[in-house]
Structure 1
């Protein structure tokens, strides 16, 4: 090889190339560590109704490691998504020393159980309920039924509109029986669903008779039990009325 000029030239060129790559890598590493690329700014956009600078500093800033070049965007995204109210976050670099963050907040529909909130999409999340600017309906049900309860809430709201109230509470018991309490004070026992039409049919049975019921017993109807096969029972001002004389016993709860 030492007598072969061509091979010597090729070897020298390879060494020069390796040296150039090493120098470029060292220069790049040196440049990446310059203070000019330390993260100085986090620009937050999107849904920020419940997000503020103190919350970001307390929840996220301490979790951001590295600079413009080395920060892990996926870890940064996860840190933002751990903040209360945040449903989804996207993070990108902005030259030369900033991050741009777009947030999507949960849209609260109601409270769930004793200490959680449920969104309009039927997703549970935890946040400071003192930050709510209005009273929300109350929901509860077995684990994993959040989406079903939220979907039923919107159906109950539509079905029961003729009663002059909106659902304040929707509860699905551990035995999967439905109870609804309206804003006008009426509590409605639906019982369990026997088929996909059960709840709609029981609602229609009550709303069809509502005008006659309130004309006879007044609007202060406290309780309606719709679990009877062919009728229902109500309680108003201490009186009890069976909606259908042949209703018989209520269906299984």
Structure 2
């Protein structure tokens, strides 16, 4: 009988010890979770110490990107919202695309693809290499001036590129291109000549100008404008000494 009592007491002691151990483990786990959560929320213990910017950059300033991060995202490395930061960086001037990645333990990798300004659009905007309009401070480089109705940006840029390719053989370039509401094309070349190409077959009509331009240069008159809206031939407006226009 005494042996059974001793055995029961021993089992009871083991059970108490096991419960105490389990309680200690649970309390330790709760404390560890609380401590880790508190540590993650403390930006001073896990600050972003390094911002690494990559990608070809001419107009994008690294300090502007870093300022965006420091001013809008004061959180710790762990709490920083990568998706929100990605949208903010892509909204910066001259940024076409961007990617944002965290790098353990305290760095950010920012890769940017810069807008390439291909033309000025309606005097106050720019078109990138894909014909998308974007807002940025106008660059100092010489760019063609394109004008047209809203939504015609890609049409105007593609038309400019096709026509400039034809003109490269003449050493002429397009200074200004006008695309009307009815999609009629008008050009002003770098030598001041104005071309009216109309709505259809504008590339073929420009080729007609390229073919006849060597003959026009031999004239003792200065060309003011050329109307190419004819099935065959063209109309030339000349400038005389008093700048009055004459047509032939």
After TM superposition, the score normalised by the length of structure 1 is: 0.79
Q: Which residue of 2 aligns with 1:223?
A: 225
* Paired residue secondary structure (2:64): helix
Indicate the residue corresponding to 1:76 in structure 2: 85
Kindly indicate whether the alpha-carbon contact (under 8 Å) linking 2:51 and 2:66 is maintained by their aligned counterparts in 1: no
Q: Does 1:176 align with 2:183?
A: yes
Q: 1:19, 1:47 → 2: CA distance?
A: 53
> What is the aligned partner in structure 2 of residue 244 from structure 1?
none
Alignment partner, residue 251 of structure 1: none
2:46 counterpart of 1:37 = yes
| Structure 2 gap ranges (5+) | 1-11, 240-244
Equivalent residue of 2:77, what SS? Answer: coil
Alignment of 1:59-74 (within 5 A): 59-74=68-83
Partner of residue 104, structure 1: 113
Whether the aligned pair in 2 keeps the contact of 1:65 and 1:72 (CA below 8 Å) is no
User: 1:225-244 counterparts in 2 under 5 A?
Assistant: 225-237=227-239, 238-241=245-248
SS of residue in 1 equivalent to 2:236: strand
SS of alignment partner, residue 36 of structure 1: coil
**Residue 207 (structure 1) aligns with:** 210
Q: CA deviation at 1:28?
A: 2.2
In 2, the alpha carbon distance for the partners of 1:217 and 1:128 equals: 43
Q: Note the alpha carbon deviations across 1:57-111, whole angstroms, 9 max, x for none.
A: 5544322242111101011111111211111111111222221111111000111
Contact 1:59/1:83, CA 8 A, preserved across alignment: no
Residue aligned with 2:80, SS: coil
Change in 2 beyond 3 A, CA 1:151/1:18: farther
The CA RMSD over aligned residues, in Å, is 2.7
Residues 168, 182 of structure 1: 8 Å contact kept: yes
Query: Are the structure 2 counterparts of residues 14 and 187 from structure 1 closer, same or farther at C-alpha, using a change threshold of 3 Å?
Result: farther
Q: Kindly tell me the number of residue pairs found equivalent between the two proteins.
A: 227
SS of 1:228's partner is coil
* CA apart distance, 1:166: 0.8
Give the conservation status (yes or no) of the 8 Å contact 2:41–2:79.
Answer: no
